[in-house]
Amino acid sequence: MAKKAIKIDSNLLFLIHLPHFIRYLFSWEILPFLIVFSLTFLFLPFSTLVFFFLQLIVLMMVYKLAFDVLVDIAKGNMKPTVKHNYLVTNAVAVKVAMFAVLIEATLMWLKKDGFDDVYRYNFIILSTFITPAVYMSLAITNSMLHALNPINLFKIIKTSYISYLLFVVFWIASIFLHENIINPFLLHYFPVFINGIVSGFIEYSFLLINFQIMGYMIFQNRVEFNLDLITGFNKIDSGFITLEEPEINPYHQRIQNLLAEDEHQLALSMAIELKDKGDDSPELMHLYRKALQKKMHKPNNQEIADKVHWRISKNQLKKAFDIVTGHLDAEKEFKEKSAGDINRLVVHAIEINKTEYVAQLVKDFDIKHPNHPDIVINYFLLAKVIYRVRSERGKSKKIIENIISKYPYDVHIEEIKAWYKGIKLISNNSRNL
């Protein structure tokens, strides 16, 4: 049966949704990135210089992915189908580095000018506290100036309030856990490059979790942040984030495909069979009613012609021909939507040896479509089909004589004359024998 769509209630605190944030990392859309990024530590034993440059590139890629995740979730997408968000440029990692350099430069200045340690510690606490707000602002504006504006930072912090305070604690705790517990443990039991791979994977995972949470907090306060006024963000009234789209039951999907293919009888039979097996879902009932309506509906010629023309445009000649012959077998006249459809149908009829329909298809073609370039070739094909029946050969010759007389300059006329000359020669030889 189809799964129900899972929705995340954005009114709840981010801590409630931590299990989802963790599952997000182990999806096939995210996990390969984390593995590849962490595997760069394999180069550490071979070349420190190569490893250093690789790490710079990887860090840029990790931060770009993290910001893409942040923006995705801020837009209301908590599924791990991360797209390249052009709202955040590839240079975002450079801006993050600029912010880090600014912090370090300020600390060096405080130390150089002889400020007490208490000032430096207070600055570290302040910078740590505002860093998430800087990243959140940078993600939705892509502007470093906007991100460093104290007024904007105050608005983000004030709007999120309790969530923001708890997140800062979570942010610091994840850094402390990685730096002071996980890293020393791994370094004690594993070689340096193995430690690097595992530690890198955990570090990048923590980073993505933290950026997911920041995106979630932005979504929670999207009205206060006026996100619908920012390019790339659509107005979302619902307080729920769709985590997973409903999965289509494969049998229901098959019925839908059959209906799209005008196989309504087969679709109806399949729906009845599923009902008998106990499928009483609303989805199946809808498909059942749709199939029943299609079966009861008697399409007019215009609807038939539209379907045939669409099939021919998709090069689905068999399906198009079956629709036409079904219409003709019901003793109804077929009026094509496009004159060019007739030649395709006639050629197909000859190829599959269903020539009994050619006369009905070509009937009055020259009257319905005067001066159409297919007139000569269509009647020539009809004449060739008729000529196969000995008793109809006289009628075939009359058709040929008529088109030679009326359309002497047609591109096919020399071929027709040669064919006509050939059958006359064969006919004369037969009489002489």
> What pTM was computed for the model?
0.55
Structural contact between residues 218 and 60, judged by C-beta atoms closer than 8 angstroms: no
pLDDT tens digits, one per residue of 195-208 = 888 988 999 999 99
More confident residue, 147 or 303: 147
Position 247 scores a pLDDT of 60
Residues 291 and 328 in one domain: no
Residues 107 and 173 in one domain: yes
Distance CA 194, CA 326 (A): 70
Share of the chain above pLDDT 70, in %: 90
In a domain, 57, yes or no: yes
Residues 272 and 352 in one domain: no
Distance CA 395, CA 377 (A): 17
In a domain, 220, yes or no: yes
* CATH number, residue 416: 1.25.40.10
Q: Name the residue range of residue 331's domain.
A: 300-432
Of 76-80, 129-133, 135-139, minimum mean pLDDT range? 76-80
Position 150 scores a pLDDT of 92
In a domain, 1, yes or no: no
Report whether pLDDT(40) > 80: yes
Position 274 scores a pLDDT of 84
Position 83 scores a pLDDT of 56
Position 245 scores a pLDDT of 53
Final residue before a domain boundary, out of 230, 263, 297 = 297
In a domain, 95, yes or no: yes
pLDDT tens digits, one per residue of 266-312 = 888 888 888 888 888 877 888 888 878 777 767 677 878 888 888 88
Residues 50 and 148 in one domain: yes
Single out the residue of 427, 423, 383, 422 nearest to residue 403, CA to CA: 383
Of 154-158, 230-234, 374-378, minimum mean pLDDT range? 230-234
- Overall average pLDDT of the 373-384 stretch: 90
Q: How far apart are the first and last CA of the chain?
A: 75
Q: Is residue 2 very low, low, confident or very high in pLDDT (cuts 50, 70, 90)?
A: very low
In a domain, 384, yes or no: yes
Residue 363 phi, psi (nearest 5): -50, 125
Residues 159 and 202 in one domain: yes
Neighbours of 83 (CB within 10 A): 10
- Overall average pLDDT of the 89-104 stretch: 83
Residues 277 and 312 in one domain: no
Residues 106 and 211 in one domain: yes
Position 84 scores a pLDDT of 54
Report whether pLDDT(246) > 60: no
Structural contact between residues 128 and 78, judged by C-beta atoms closer than 8 angstroms: no
Report whether pLDDT(89) > 80: no
Position 149 scores a pLDDT of 92
Residues 292 and 371 in one domain: no
Position 267 scores a pLDDT of 82
- Overall average pLDDT of the 412-421 stretch: 88
Contacts of 82 (CB under 8 A, 6+ apart): 29, 30, 65, 68, 69, 72
Residue tagged 């009905």 (tokens) = 360
Residues 279 and 317 in one domain: no
Distance CA 92, CA 59 (A): 11
Report whether pLDDT(4) > 60: no
Burial of 59 by CB count in 10 Å (0-12 exposed, 13-18 middle, 19+ buried)? Answer: middle
Q: Is residue 1 very low, low, confident or very high in pLDDT (cuts 50, 70, 90)?
A: very low
Mean pLDDT over each residue of the chain, to the nearest integer: 83
Residue tagged 């030679």 (tokens) = 404
In a domain, 238, yes or no: yes
CA 417 to chain CA mean position, Å: 55
In a domain, 276, yes or no: yes
- Overall average pLDDT of the 164-180 stretch: 93
Residues 262 and 391 in one domain: no
In a domain, 194, yes or no: yes
3-state secondary structure labels for all residues of the chain: CCCCCEEEECCCCHHHHHHHHHHHHCCCCCHHHHHHHHHHHHHCCCCHHHHHHHHHHHHHHHHHHHHHHHHHHHCCECCCCCCCCCCCCCCHHHHHHHHHHHHHHHHHHHHHCCCCHHHHHHHHHHHHHHHHHHHHHHHHHCCHHHHCCHHHHHHHHHHHCHHHHHHHHHHHHHHHHHHHHHHHHHHHHCCHHHHHHHHHHHHHHHHHHHHHHHHHHHHHCCCCCCHHHCCCCCCCCCCEEEEECCCCCHHHHHHHHHHHCCCHHHHHHHHHHHHHCCCCCHHHHHHHHHHHHHHHCCCCHHHHHHHHHHHHHCCCHHHHHHHHHHHHHCCCCCCCCCHHHHHHHHHHHHHCCCHHHHHHHHCCHHHHCCCCCCHHHHHHHHHHHHHCCHHHHHHHHHHHHHHHHHCCCCCCHHHHHHHHHHHHHHHHHHHHC
CA 124 to chain CA mean position, Å: 45
Burial of 18 by CB count in 10 Å (0-12 exposed, 13-18 middle, 19+ buried)? Answer: middle
Distance CA 11, CA 402 (A): 81
Q: Is residue 213 very low, low, confident or very high in pLDDT (cuts 50, 70, 90)?
A: very high
Residues 124 and 193 in one domain: yes
- Overall average pLDDT of the 388-409 stretch: 88
Structural contact between residues 33 and 277, judged by C-beta atoms closer than 8 angstroms: no
Report whether pLDDT(51) > 80: no
Distance CA 207, CA 344 (A): 61
More confident residue, 58 or 84: 58
Overall domain count for the chain: 3
Residues 316 and 201 in one domain: no
Beta bridge pairs of residue 9: 240
